[in-house]
Every structure is written in C-alpha cells, then in structure tokens.
Structure 1
Amino acid sequence: MKPYTIISMCALALASCTGNSTKSVDTTTTADTTKADMLNSPSQNMEYCFLRTEGSNNQDTTAVHLVINAGKVTGEMQWIPKEKDARKGALEGTIAGNDIKAVWTFSQEGMKDTLGVAFQLSAQELAQKPFKVVKDGRQQTDGAAGYTITYKLDNCTKFKTGVKPAL
C-alpha cells in the first residue's frame, strides 16, 4: 500500500503546483506600443483645434476647429489669406478610424458655397487632401492625392473667444 500512497501524494503535489503557476510576460513592448498608439490616435468625444500658416511671411492662415462625438464631426474652418477674401464656415461630417470626410459650408465675398473636405486626424496633427480646380472652375478635394496639407495642434481660444487668427 505504501507505493500507491507515495504515487498519490506525488500526483497531488504535481496537480497543486500546476494550478498555482504564474506566467512571466514581457509587458514593456506592449506598454510602449500602447503609449505610442495613444499619442498618435485621436480621442473620440473630444475637441481639437489646428492652425496652419503659409505664404512668404506666414501671413496666410487656416484654422480648423473639430468637435468629435460618437463618430460625428462638427466644427468650423476659416481660411484667411492676406489681401484676399476669406472663407469662413461650418464643418459637418463623419470620422471612421482617423479619416474624416466632411462638408465645409462657407461664405466668401457674400456668397455661400460648399466644398467636400478630407482630413486625417492624429492626436498631434491634422492632415488634409488638397483641392484641385475642375472644368467649371470650381474647387473640389483631390481624391487621388495624399494628405499633404498639415496643420499643427493649437489651443481653441481663437474659436471660443471669437478672436480671429493673426493676419
């Protein structure tokens, strides 16, 4: 009977050891990847403001204000070139992943117009597909182009206070 008792005790000891085992997992790569993803991907239910200046003395300004809520995007966009008529108006669209498709309803020279816009959003930057002029002289987003127009993250005081971007 002694051999059966010893075998039974060994089996019990082995079973209890395997039930309490812990696996060692290297989480440094996972943690680093998660931090990088958080910095590069946009947050939902968030407000963003971006600014772009261009021209010979950075005198032309475009400001974009986005409010993202449950896959919907609203906001405004202001294109304010030096010595030209500005375009100012509302944005309304959707976001899927990092891609925003919206319609910009703006006023310019007392006339209202609309223009489809395509953006790619990250937590630190906004990129836009450029416009192209079509046969009737109107502009439209160049769907074949890359997201080559970049905006820097900015605070939203320009939109909240009604102060216009610097000219």
Structure 2
Amino acid sequence: MKIKLCLLLAVGLGTSCSGTHSNNTDTLTTSGNHKDTALANAADAPPVNMQYCFYHTDGTQAQDTTSVNMLINGDKVTGKMSWLPKEKDARKGTITGTLKGNAIKAVWTFMQEGTKDTLGVEFQLRGNALAQKPYQYDAKTGRQQTNIQADYSVIYSMKNCSN
C-alpha cells in the first residue's frame, strides 16, 4: 500500500496541472456490458477545495474545443464551461452542481446566439481525466439533453488551470 501511495504521489507531483490529484479507481462492468469507473470507497473521493481544468477537442480535424474549469468545495461544484466550435456560435457559461463520490451532476447556464439557455450535464472524475455523458436530441422539445442511459464516453484531458 505504501509503494502504491508513493507511486501515485510521484505521478501527481510530476504533472504541471494545478488541479492534479490522484485517486484509486476500480473498473466495474455494469449491465449492458459497458465499463464504468466507480470509486472503491469514500477515501478515494477527489480532493475538495480544489480547482480542476479540462479540455476536449472533436470535429473532423479536432477543431472544436470544449473546456471545463471547476472548483470543488465540499460536495458543491461551480465553474465555467465553454463550447467553442470552429464555424458555429459558441456556448459560454457557468456550471453549478453537486459531487457525490466521483460523479458530478450540474446545470450549465450559457449564452448562445444572444440567448440564455440551460442544459443538464453529468461528469465523472477519473484520475487526471474528466468523463461526460453525451448529449442527445429530444425531438419533442427540439433541444439537446444529456443522454442519461449512455456511458461517460466524452473524455476530457486535464490541463493547467493558469492557461
């Protein structure tokens, strides 16, 4: 156990991210044969009172960027989230939510094309990465929403919060 802790500490100190942390996770197979990461116990929960910053790129040439900068204070999560597509209107706003274990449920309040809107988002902290459940289009409302049946398949990389 001491060797594992020292190794995790060394990896954590070796990164330049101000939100760097380490935690032990176990991969569990859940119904539907997809893998999900769950914390082994409460002692493995992410550090609180800490800032975390992540980014994700997608598009045909990785030209669209989403960034999530969050502060975890106890079980409260606040921060900023921006979706910056190359040739479309951006979504920029704030996130407010709660942390339970390593799962975050939040509301993203953003501006797009001069209109204020909200969207529920679900994340999961995974070591030096952030995973998000993808969105789906709801034909009844004509809006995007989080696909709560999906796995956390959108993966963000940790970055230095000073950038």
Same fold flag (TM > 0.5) = yes
1:66 pairs with 58, 63, 70, which one? 70
Taking the aligned partners of 1:102 and 1:62, their CA distance within structure 2 comes to: 16
Q: What's the CA shift string for 1:78-107, capped at 9, x where partnerless?
A: 000011000000000000110000000000
Q: Which whole-Å deviations, capped at 9, do the CAs of 1:57-85 have from their partners, x for residues lacking one? A: 21100000010001100001000001100
Structure in which a larger fraction of residues adopt helix:
1
Q: CA RMSD in A?
A: 1.7
Counterparts of 1:60 and 1:73, CA distance in 2: 25
- Calculate the TM-score normalised by the size of structure 2: 0.74
Partner of 1:39: 22
Identity %: 54
Q: Max radius of gyration: which structure?
A: 1
Judge conservation of contact 1:67–1:75 (CA < 8 Å) in 2: yes
C-alpha separation between the residues in 2 aligned to 1:32 and 1:141?
40
2:79 is the counterpart of 1:79: no
- Are the structure 2 counterparts of residues 49 and 141 from structure 1 closer, same or farther at C-alpha, using a change threshold of 3 Å? same
Matches within 5 A, 1:46-125: 46-125=50-129
Where 2:22 maps in the other structure, the secondary structure is helix
TM-score by length of 1: 0.72
- Between the two proteins, the alignment pairs up a number of residues equal to 129
Q: Which amino acid aligns with 2:2?
A: A
Structure 1: 5+ residue stretches without partners: 1-29, 159-167
The 8 Å contact of residues 43 and 123 in structure 1, kept in 2 or not, is answered as no
In 2, Cα distance between equivalents of 1:119 and 1:110 = 26
Q: 1:34 deviation in Å?
A: 4.0
Aligned to 2:35: none
User: Alignment partner for residue 157 of structure 2, among 152, 160, 166?
Assistant: 152
Q: Distance in 2 between matches of 1:77 and 1:32?
A: 37
* Residue type of the alignment partner of 2:103: D
Q: Distance in 2 between matches of 1:99 and 1:48?
A: 14
TM-superposed CA distance for 1:39, in Å, is: 2.0
Unpaired runs of at least 5, structure 2: 10-20, 24-43
> Partners in 2 of 1:31 and 1:45 — Cα distance?
25
